[in-house]
Amino acid sequence: MPDRVSDGQWSRLSEFIAQTTGLHFPPERLADLQRGVAGAARELGFEDTAACVGSLLSAPPTAAQVEVLASHLAVGETYFFRDRKTFDVLAADVLPGLVRSRQGREQRLRFWSAACCTGEEPYSLAILLREALPDLDDWHVTITATDINGRFLRRAATGTYGEWSFRDTPAWFKERYFNRTADGRYAILPEIKKRVTFVQLNLVEDVYPSLATETNAMNVILCRNALMYFTPPQVRNVIRKLHHALAEGGWLVVSPSEASHALFPQFVAVNFPGVMLYQKSGAKLPAKQPWMPAPPGEAARFVAPEIEKPSPWVQQVPVPLPTEPAPAPAPEEPAHAETRPTPRAMAETLYRQGRYADAAEMLAASFAGHTPEPQALSLLARALANQGELTDALAWCDRWITADKVDPAAHYLRAVVLLERGDVEQARASLQRALYLQPDFVLAHFALGNLARSGGKTGEADKHYANALHLLGRHQPGDPLPESEGLTAGRLTETIAAMTGMEAVP
């Protein structure tokens, strides 16, 4: 029972919860913490709360345990078109701008409902797009919806709701987009349902943006009514990572009560009637062929961007770059070059800071007049892919492959970019090529599994997932996977297990 847990233990548990989930339980919320942990203890099969607290404090919990804990501690309140004004602004002001900027180019739009709860928010977004974009079917639109709580996500994936989820929507809305079920609930139309992909993601612990989890190059991220429950350092940590996950010009949407000038220094705050949104606005993208190197003999015009010093209060999570050994200094470098970072090193720093456009610009400019090394080509292709500049990313992947035909990572990245463009057949060929070059490439097996699954080939999908699980069994759970930019072996194992019901290989 709670009274067998000492004050010191509760305080350490509160710190631990803040670290793993972001959720904030100061002393005045001790009763909420005790209630939630008692529920989690029962669900996790502990004899009592004290045993659960003791166990959580003595050994690192699994992601599944963290999820159960979060499901008992986090507020799971949501409904369709919550804060209606925000959706009005998205439809009237944000969407037209995004459409204009991408029309006739790559007609792609990427949305992320981070902390989506039981799905009302991302489905509202899907319905808004259906209403606001008459030519929606001509666009490649992705709506990724994530939450820490797998149970919420499973409910979201059913797409079935009771009256209470419609507390702020007019009657026509239900009639147009839902079918009545035999038990009096409302099932969302398949045409809307299929537009949303639900994925489990802990905003505090998991790595994003990541090409592997499709959390990159977002045009709009909704992260509403979750940050308000986080500790201040975790709020800043999450906002920084969300900033990285946005494409240039992308928008972060928080709830009206979370909007604050102080918390979003990296963003431009844009005030709409009754709604404050935050726009990522960094390097300006040149209008034409932005990332092609300068023609031979022509000097690249480039002003090095200022590199941010990490703020002391921001927990820096280093994103491992998929680069090989440090480059040997170029022979023509002047003597003082030792003390000055190379353009590639500076671009790597910019990349880690989420400044993909700056990193790309620096690399492209540094290529003028000489043949770039494969690692630099790799970094440029990734920076462009992270910005959603897929045509250019593909062109640089091809240059990378020309420079180093047998690097499986190059073929894998090419496949990821092709998948984002919807070019499934070419992507499959690139994944197969990556596996030919490196048969134990876990992420390539996983991606081929996803491809087979979305094509309805369950047997083939299971074969790839089983291969991936087998290979994951050779890693420690905390090992970051190559080419994943930080996705751990344990997390991918859990994801595959949750998707397929397959057991992890011990």
- Catalogue the E-assigned strands of 330-474: none
Residue pair 147/135 in contact (Cβ under 8 Å)? The answer is no
Residue 149: HSE in the Cβ half-sphere, 13 Å Cα cutoff: 21
Q: Which is nearer to ligand SAM, 116 or 415 (CB)?
A: 116
According to the 3-state scheme, what is the secondary structure of 45-71?
CCCCHHHHHHHHHHCCCCHHHHHHHHH
Q: Is 88 exposed, middle or buried (0-12, 13-18, 19+ CB in 10 A)?
A: middle
Q: Does 147 bind ligand SAM (CB under 6 A)?
A: yes
Query: What 8-state DSSP symbol labels residue 29?
Result: G
Q: Does 227 bind ligand SAM (CB under 6 A)?
A: no
Q: Which is nearer to ligand SAM, 145 or 471 (CB)?
A: 145
Q: Which is nearer to ligand SAM, 467 or 495 (CB)?
A: 495
Q: Which stretch binds ligand SAM (CB under 6 A): 136-144, 200-208, 241-249, 440-448?
A: 200-208
Residue nearest to ligand SAM (CB): 78
Which residues are registered as beta bridge partners of 269? 278
Q: Which is nearer to ligand SAM, 205 or 404 (CB)?
A: 205
Cα separation, 230 vs 22, whole angstroms: 5
Q: Which stretch binds ligand SAM (CB under 6 A): 103-111, 221-229, 260-268, 462-470?
A: 221-229
Q: Does 245 bind ligand SAM (CB under 6 A)?
A: no
Q: Which of residues 344-373 bind ligand SAM (CB under 6 A)?
A: none
Number of residues engaging ligand SAM in binding (CB under 6 A): 25
Q: Which is nearer to ligand SAM, 35 or 463 (CB)?
A: 35
Q: Does 204 bind ligand SAM (CB under 6 A)?
A: yes
Q: Does 200 bind ligand SAM (CB under 6 A)?
A: no
Q: Does 226 bind ligand SAM (CB under 6 A)?
A: yes
Q: How far is the CB of 156 from ligand SAM (least distance, A)?
A: 9
As a 3-state breakdown, the chain gives helix, strand, coil percent values, each rounded to 5, of: 50, 10, 40
Q: List the one residue from 14, 121, 250, 412 that touches ligand SAM (CB under 6 A).
A: 121
Q: List the one residue from 17, 22, 359, 494 that touches ligand SAM (CB under 6 A).
A: 22
Q: Which is nearer to ligand SAM, 241 or 414 (CB)?
A: 241
Radius of gyration of the chain (CA): 23
Amino acid at 159: G
Contacts 24+ apart (CB under 8 A), 395-401: 395/291, 395/292, 396/291, 399/372, 400/374
Instruction: Give the largest Cα separation in the chain, rounded.
Output: 78
Residue pair 17/62 in contact (Cβ under 8 Å)? The answer is no
Q: Which stretch binds ligand SAM (CB under 6 A): 44-52, 100-108, 201-209, 260-268?
A: 201-209
Q: Does 444 bind ligand SAM (CB under 6 A)?
A: no
Q: Which stretch binds ligand SAM (CB under 6 A): 111-119, 209-217, 263-271, 435-443?
A: 111-119
For residue 171, give both structure tokens: 């009657």
Q: How far is the CB of 152 from ligand SAM (least distance, A)?
A: 5
Q: Containing H/E element for 253?
A: strand 246-253
Q: Which is nearer to ligand SAM, 152 or 267 (CB)?
A: 152
Q: Which stretch binds ligand SAM (CB under 6 A): 19-27, 419-427, 463-471, 496-504?
A: 19-27
Q: How far is the CB of 77 from ligand SAM (least distance, A)?
A: 5
For residue 303, give both structure tokens: 């002003």
Cα separation, 119 vs 114, whole angstroms: 10
Q: How far is the CB of 147 from ligand SAM (least distance, A)?
A: 5
Q: Does 225 bind ligand SAM (CB under 6 A)?
A: yes
Which residues are registered as beta bridge partners of 218? 246
Q: How far is the CB of 439 from ligand SAM (least distance, A)?
A: 35
Q: Which is nearer to ligand SAM, 201 or 346 (CB)?
A: 201
Q: Which of residues 43-102 bind ligand SAM (CB under 6 A)?
A: 70, 74-78, 82
Residue 126: HSE in the Cβ half-sphere, 13 Å Cα cutoff: 25
Phi/psi at 238 (5° precision) = -70, -40
Q: Does 149 bind ligand SAM (CB under 6 A)?
A: yes
Q: Which stretch binds ligand SAM (CB under 6 A): 20-28, 47-55, 308-316, 394-402?
A: 20-28
Which residues are registered as beta bridge partners of 109? 141
Cα separation, 60 vs 489, whole angstroms: 16
Helices and strands (DSSP H and E) totals, the chain = 20, 10
Q: List the one residue from 17, 94, 117, 347 that touches ligand SAM (CB under 6 A).
A: 117
Q: How far is the CB of 83 from ligand SAM (least distance, A)?
A: 8
According to the 3-state scheme, what is the secondary structure of 82-137?
CCHHHHHHHHHHHHHHHHHHHCCCCCEEEEEEECCCCCHHHHHHHHHHHHHCCCHH
Question: Where does this chain bind ligand SAM (CB under 6 A)?
Answer: 21-23, 70, 74-78, 82, 115-117, 121, 147-149, 152, 202-204, 224-226, 255
